Amino acid sequence: MKRLVVLGGGTAGTMVVNKLRRRLDRRSWQITVVDRDDDHLYQPGFLFLPFGTYAPEQVVRKRHRFIPDGVDLVLAEIDRVAPDEKVVHLQDGRTLAYDYLVIATGTSPRPDQTPGMLGEEWRRSIFDFYTFDGSRALADALRRFDHGRLVVHVTEMPIKCPVAPLEFTFLADAHLRERGVRDRVELVFVTPLSGAFTQPIASAHLGSMLEERKILVEPDFMVERVDDEHKALVSYDEREVPFDLLVTVPLNMGADYVARSGLGDELNYVPVDKHTLLSTRYDTIFAVGDASDIPASKAGSVAHFAVDLFVENFVAHAAGRPMPHSFDGHANCFVESGDGKGLLIDFNYDTQPLPGKFPLPGVGPLSLLKETRANHLGKLAFRWIYWNVLLPGRYLPLPDHMSMTGKQVPAEPSTADAAVHI
């Protein structure tokens, strides 16, 4: 009997085991998934917890509920992988032998990697919202904050859900206006990028939205440390950005066991072929979702589109046949903009986000790179889709490859026009 071990029971790993359990003969394949605990977190919901849109219990469910019959769920910390022996070592001393391994342990914020970030001000005036505990603590801080300098900060790219810091900034602006204290708060967006986003057309559009809301932008800011005593971000070129309340996105890194196993790059992401997700070093190892080094957004939509193609590729590869599909880096993300509206962006490795209609030209019903109520409702509806369709591996009628249908190609603006500089 062949043995498939999947490391990580988050979004990508859960989809993989649900889809492959249906495709692989139970008499010939044993499937095991490993994760540290039984809590599955709906991470897109962390954005909404600080503003009270979701309650904490709405973003947590038991992991085992989404693991299908015929898949063994092992709850344990991973110590390391021995790829030459095809063995996974767990921290409790157990070992799991495999014929094929799928690494799906994602990426996590690492505030410990920036000097001063985890000082005395951590969870006092410095918060994150990329963790369950962080987003809940930030909710309390936001309720108390009614004047001063609110700084939203990105340490370095890549990060999980790269539009989330912008979404938080837009939602914070709306939240402060609703409370009647926006004119008492200076809102600043600090980014290592030269503009609001990684692609020029979207960067210009999102940058103009920041300008309209009187949100200052500090671009090209590579943070060297956090001055805990004076409450300021300090860059390598010695610029300083003071804050009263700092909402930071720490450096994101893959799991530490990846480094201990000799399988990762400097950020613990697994180098893979960006079209097949097969390891560049071992033909028995794949990495899916945020755990890989593919040059695509680390977002749930990328995991969804990639896993759909990965399943067919895995079945063919395990049977000794050429893999039939090539992933194009397709990403599809709603962007909350406050006041009950949102945008939608759709792009891939080669095509940046463009304006237009999605999924049908001229009809939509969703608009690309345009604030609409429908996009906001789509963002909220995704939570139900996530729990009931995406995780169980059910069919979702969206194309896995990005389509140019309904998209318009405008002239590209300069990203230099996309930010208001301090």
Give the pLDDT score at 418: 38
131-145, 210-224, 406-420 — which is least confidently predicted?
406-420
Give the residue-averaged pLDDT of 132-139: 97
- Rg (alpha carbons) of the chain, rounded to whole number: 22
* Residue 144 DSSP code: H
Give the pLDDT score at 200: 84
Give the pLDDT score at 237: 96
Is this structure's pTM higher than 0.85? yes
Give the residue-averaged pLDDT of 95-106: 98
Decide if pLDDT at 196 tops 90: no
> Tens digit of pLDDT for each residue in 371-392?
999 999 999 999 999 999 999 9
Give the residue-averaged pLDDT of 129-152: 97
Give the pLDDT score at 242: 98
Decide if pLDDT at 331 tops 60: yes
List CB contacts of 55: < 8 A, sequence separation 6 or more: none
Q: Percent of the chain having pLDDT more than 90? A: 91
Contact 197, 169 (CB under 8 A): no
What average pLDDT does the structure give for the chain?
94
Q: Compute the distance between CA of residue 15 and CA of residue 387 in angstroms, rounded to an integer.
A: 11
Give the pLDDT score at 251: 98
**280 bridge partner residues:** none
Residue 411: pLDDT band with limits 50, 70, 90: low
**CA neighbor of 269 nearest in space, from 250, 294, 251:** 294
Give the pLDDT score at 363: 81
Amino acid at 316: A
Give the residue-averaged pLDDT of 310-318: 98
124-138, 156-170, 182-196, 351-365 — which is least confidently predicted?
351-365
Give the residue-averaged pLDDT of 107-129: 97
Pairing type for strands 29-35 and 2-7 reads parallel
**CA neighbor of 149 nearest in space, from 186, 98, 200:** 186
* Residue 261 DSSP code: T
Cα distances (Å, whole numbers) of residue 181 to 146, 175, 214, 237: 6, 9, 14, 33
**399 bridge partner residues:** none
> Tens digit of pLDDT for each residue in 229-267?
999 999 999 999 999 999 999 999 999 999 999 999 999
Q: Percent of the chain having pLDDT more than 70? A: 97
Give the residue-averaged pLDDT of 348-354: 95
Q: Which residue has the higher pLDDT, 199 or 140?
A: 140
DSSP string, 275-331: TT-BBSS-TTEEE-GGGB--SS-BSHHHHHHHHHHHHHHHHHHHTTPPP-------E
Cα–Cα–Cα angle for 208, 210, 213, rounded to 5 degrees:
110
Give the residue-averaged pLDDT of 76-102: 98
- Structural domains in the chain, CATH included, are 2-109+253-318 (3.50.50.60), 111-251 (3.50.50.60), 331-390 (no CATH)
Give the residue-averaged pLDDT of 279-292: 98
Decide if pLDDT at 110 tops 80: yes
Decide if pLDDT at 421 tops 50: no
Q: Where do the DSSP E strands lie in 17-111?
A: 29-35, 39-41, 60-62, 71-75, 78-82, 87-90, 95-97, 100-103, 107-109
Half-sphere exposure of 151 (CA within 13 A, CB side): 26
Tokens representing residue 323 in the block: 């893999």
Place of tokens 């954005």: 47
Pairing type for strands 29-35 and 78-82 reads unpaired
